Chains A and B, each alone.
Chain A
């Protein structure tokens, strides 16, 4: 019957929207994942919520419009009451259980949204990355700094992006528009005007 443990064991391994598509060039565009993605809803400025996140993930709550990056984990500030937590898929169940436990009794919610979104990483010269993104998002990439996060539109779809370090930008969008976003990133990354000979 519907034994959840048995179901879990027979479930196919997760695949990303584009099966980790990759484009190499002056700017490399790669679909990353599969991530474990948890949405945390609650008052992100509340001390108990912040300490619960730190206890469960080892990551500090990011400041407004910020991202916390540590190794292969990230916490992205999405709104005053929403954060997106990214961890390796293998860590998902453990982190979720730890978060649920730490937040017990608090006015907060944790939901597994791993299958809702696609993620990308573009890497290359910082100036090239800024040029690629400047073609797609209404953001002044000249002043965009490591640790900063923007949710905005990328061409015609919602997308969030941040720089985990110099020379890389990570993006998340809804899975249903993964191909659109990947193709746009490749198009912008190949533009001869972005990289004059």
Chain B
């Protein structure tokens, strides 16, 4: 069971109040992109044992989408942050580096 804190309404609640939305920070490849880029956008996903970045929605609460960083092995949640960003905030990354030295996730480390 995950315990997540919604960055919009500030409530800390258990997983069943939320809905997972898959991998975070995907960049849409639209018209004009090459086949490999579109294939990657549609199908290629991280599947780490460890640090992972995801989208979640506070579906039974305020309804907002947000981001969460967590460990898929221990279910430890490192932090949550608003949806209006394309990268995790630096202070959260510092926290994760502290707890999981040497972690990498796509281009992030």
Contacts and interface: CB of A to CB of B under 8 A. Distances in A.
Interface of A: 64-65, 78-80, 82, 138-139, 150-153, 158
B11 A80 contact: no
Contacts of B63: 79, 82
B60 A153 contact: yes
Interface in B44-66: 59-64
A65 B7 CA distance: 12
A153 B17 contact: yes
B16 interface: yes
Contacts of B39: none
Interface residues of B, number: 14
Contacts of A78: 62
Nearest to A80: B8
B30 interface: no
A153 B17 CA distance: 6
Contact of A158 (B10, B13, B60): B60
B76 interface: no
Given A80-B9, A82-B62, 10 more contacts: A64-B9, A65-B10, A138-B14, A139-B13, A151-B9, A151-B60, A151-B62, A152-B13, A152-B17, A158-B60
